[in-house]
């Protein structure tokens, strides 16, 4: 009976109601859905700080509108996106300690504190994810995240004005947030093989953008009631999602009765083949078969140093450092940038800037899917990621140069920038991490999934911390300096994959080059050559 406790309670209840178990394919879809909602809630709970920046530290430049202050005649729902600055319903006094001359820098320090703890915590979380029960580990992280995100927002209701309070809440929240990504990627890697992994995980990785969008909309929807609610609502979302994970997530196929390809057992009901996305369903009484006596706790984990030596881990980790530097600068600072930049001759309200910033993540959804699909077709993850990073450079330049002409132009260029910026970020953190976590050098030890994911994303998150921190300082000197930093970061990210790109191109050339049709041709040509020399 001790082994049965590993089956999530919600699945046991559904089994008892149905009178039989689900098929392998149904479990696969359930895993996709639960992990999608889980990481959507993680990103939703990170977004409020970017929405409230302009409330805590309002711009001090006098009148911000040079043209018509009426809401432009855009059709629903776009009309609600573009509310002029003068229509804000809250005070422009800001919130101490962020409303002083160094307020922007302090907001940057809050961001870097969160991301620094997040990145360092991820290295530990990856190893723990490979040694502990992933379902319980993920649930604990989600509920803990919700509590401390909510406590940050409670600073509004408790009238807290101490910088160290907000800094401390963000740091502890970052520690709990570190549990998320290594865990969900490991779970998906356990249930899915490598064929079409880029496309599947590209679609699945839309949770990042969906989380950013939902977090922005949730926060903006309650902003008029007080900025504290912007944190309370996403916090409730991640706690509710954590409960769902606890009830319905099977972290390993063998926890609900199916075997990994590397395992064998006479009780096995079915297996997941690593080289195919198809599932072998077993016999007709597949749903009634007993649970095999093999569980995830019997697997051994790979060490941190050993995971670093897996071919490709270090280059992709360093590439993600600069890729996330760019992506997270947009995540944390785009609403603030939009509220302080004239678009079509006027400045937007904080609420409208938050709503408009979601379109960057709409582009990110398409970018993740497109990058995954292309990398599957070409079988070239590094080439795809590098190409997208190089394309992000002109897209950011165009957005900075022409995005202020009109709202339509801003939307188009923002979506394009989001596509190229988030595409490689999504590809590296999902399909690449899963590929390397199940690399042939591991000899079937899939317990490296969370560790490899943590190394790659943890290194990337250090860059994610550096980007917003530099932005907090550079934005005081002008936004051109910020965009110059972002374009340099994107260029370096692409260059770091150069050796892997060359390897992929060499392998592809070798596969397409003509070969002798049989073993007779080569000796024959050598004989002719000798005859000619005579």
| Omega cis (within 30) before 97 | yes
Mean pLDDT to the nearest integer, 191-211? 77
Confidence of residue 385 (pLDDT cuts 50, 70, 90): very high
Model confidence at 288: pLDDT above 70 = no
Q: Tell me the mean pLDDT in the region 253-279.
A: 55
- pLDDT at residue 368 is higher than 80: yes
pLDDT above 60: residue 485: yes
Find the DSSP H helices in 194-267: 197-204, 206-221, 229-248
Q: Which residues contact 422 (CB under 8 A, 6 or more apart)?
A: 208, 209, 327, 361, 363, 364, 365, 367, 368
| Position 289 confidence tier, pLDDT thresholds 50, 70, 90 | very low
Mean pLDDT (the chain) is 79
What's the pLDDT band for 73 if we cut at 50, 70, 90? Answer: very low
Radius of gyration of the chain (CA): 25
Would you say residue 165 has pLDDT above 90?
yes
pLDDT of residue 2: 38
Give CA angle at 11 (5, 17), nearest 5°. Answer: 115
Between the CA atoms of 30, 33, 37 and 39, what dihedral angle is there, to the nearest 10 degrees?
100
Mean pLDDT to the nearest integer, 201-208 = 84
Least confident range of 280-284, 413-417, 431-435: 280-284
Phi, psi of 159 (to 5 degrees): 55, 50
Is residue 436 pLDDT above 70, yes or no?
yes
Measuring CA to CA, how many Å separate 154 from each of 103, 159, 307? 20, 8, 41
23: tokens are 């098929």
Q: What is the pLDDT of residues 20-67, one digit of tens each?
A: 888 888 999 999 999 999 999 999 999 898 888 888 887 654 444 443
Specify the higher pLDDT residue, 174 or 437.
174
pLDDT at 343: 87
Residue 475 banded pLDDT, cuts 50, 70, 90: confident
User: Which pLDDT band, with edges at 50, 70 and 90, does 194 fall under?
Assistant: low
Please determine, for residue 265, whether its predicted confidence score (pLDDT) is greater than 80.
no
Chain segment 76-121, per-residue pLDDT in tens: 344 444 445 544 545 567 898 998 888 888 888 888 889 889 888 8
d(CA 443, CA 424): 28
For residue 390, name the pLDDT band (cuts at 50, 70, 90).
Answer: very high
d(C-alpha 534, C-alpha 528), whole Å: 10
Judged by phi (left if over 0) then psi (alpha if -120 to 50, else beta), residue 351 lies in alpha
Specify whether the CB–CB gap between 319 and 436 falls below 8 A: no
- Altogether, the residues listed in the chain come to a count of 534
The single residue listed with the structure tokens 């723990």 is 128
* Residue 221 reports pLDDT greater than 60: yes
259: left (phi over 0), alpha (psi -120 to 50) or beta: beta
pLDDT over 60 at 266, yes or no: no
**pTM, whole model, 2 decimals?**
0.71
């Amino acid at each position: 009976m001790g082994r049965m406790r590993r089956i999530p309670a919600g699945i046991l209840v559904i089994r008892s109601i149905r009178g039989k178990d689900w098929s392998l394919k149904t479990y696969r879809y359930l895993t996709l859905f639960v992990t999608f909602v889980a990481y959507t809630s993680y990103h939703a709970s990170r977004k409020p700080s970017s929405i409230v920046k302009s409330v805590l530290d309002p711009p001090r430049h006098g009148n911000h509108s040079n043209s018509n202050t009426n809401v432009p005649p855009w059709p629903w729902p776009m009309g609600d996106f573009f509310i002029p600055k003068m229509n804000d319903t809250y005070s422009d006094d800001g919130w101490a300690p962020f409303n002083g001359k160094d307020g922007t820098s302090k907001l940057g320090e809050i961001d870097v504190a969160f991301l620094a703890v997040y990145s360092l915590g991820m290295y530990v979380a990856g190893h723990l994810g490979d040694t502990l029960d992933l379902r319980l580990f993920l649930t604990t992280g989600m509920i803990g995240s919700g509590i401390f995100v909510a406590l940050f927002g409670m600073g509004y209701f408790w009238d807290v004005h101490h910088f160290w309070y907000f800094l401390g809440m963000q740091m502890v929240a970052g520690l709990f947030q570190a549990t998320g990504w290594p865990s969900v990627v490991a779970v998906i890697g356990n249930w899915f093989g490598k064929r079409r992994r880029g496309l599947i995980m590209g679609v699945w990785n839309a949770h990042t953008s969906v989380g950013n969008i939902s977090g922005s909309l949730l926060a903006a929807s309650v902003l008029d009631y007080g900025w504290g609610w912007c944190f309370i609502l996403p916090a409730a979302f991640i706690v509710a999602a954590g409960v769902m994970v606890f009830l319905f997530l099977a972290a390993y196929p063998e926890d609900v009765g199916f075997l990994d390809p590397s395992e064998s057992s006479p009780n096995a009901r079915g297996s997941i083949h690593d080289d195919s996305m198809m599932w072998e369903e077993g016999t007709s009484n597949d749903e009634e078969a007993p649970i095999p006596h093999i569980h995830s706790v019997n697997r051994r984990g790979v060490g941190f140093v050993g995971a670093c030596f897996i071919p490709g881990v270090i280059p992709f980790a360093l590439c993600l450092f600069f890729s996330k530097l760019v992506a997270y600068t947009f995540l944390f600072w785009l609403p603030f940038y939009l509220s302080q930049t004239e678009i079509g001759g006027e400045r937007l309200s904080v609420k409208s800037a938050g709503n408009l910033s979601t379109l960057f993540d709409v582009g990110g959804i398409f970018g993740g899917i497109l990058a995954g699909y292309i990398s599957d077709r070409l079988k070239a993850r590094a080439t795809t990621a590098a190409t997208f990073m190089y394309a992000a450079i002109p897209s950011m330049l165009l957005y900075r140069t022409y995005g202020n002409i009109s709202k339509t132009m801003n939307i188009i260029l923002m979506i394009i920038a989001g596509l190229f910026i988030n595409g490689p970020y999504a590809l590296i953190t999902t399909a690449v991490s899963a590929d390397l976590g199940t690399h042939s050098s591991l000899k079937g030890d899939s317990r490296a999934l969370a560790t490899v994911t943590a190394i790659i994303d943890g290194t990337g998150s250090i860059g994610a911390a550096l980007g917003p921190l530099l932005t907090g300082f550079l934005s005081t000197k002008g936004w051109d300096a910020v965009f110059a930093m972002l374009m340099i970061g994107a260029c370096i990210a692409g260059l770091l994959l150069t050796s892997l790109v060359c390897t992929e191109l060499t392998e592809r050339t070798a596969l397409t080059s003509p070969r002798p049709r049989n073993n007779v041709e080569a000796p024959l040509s050598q004989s002719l050559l000798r005859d000619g020399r005579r």
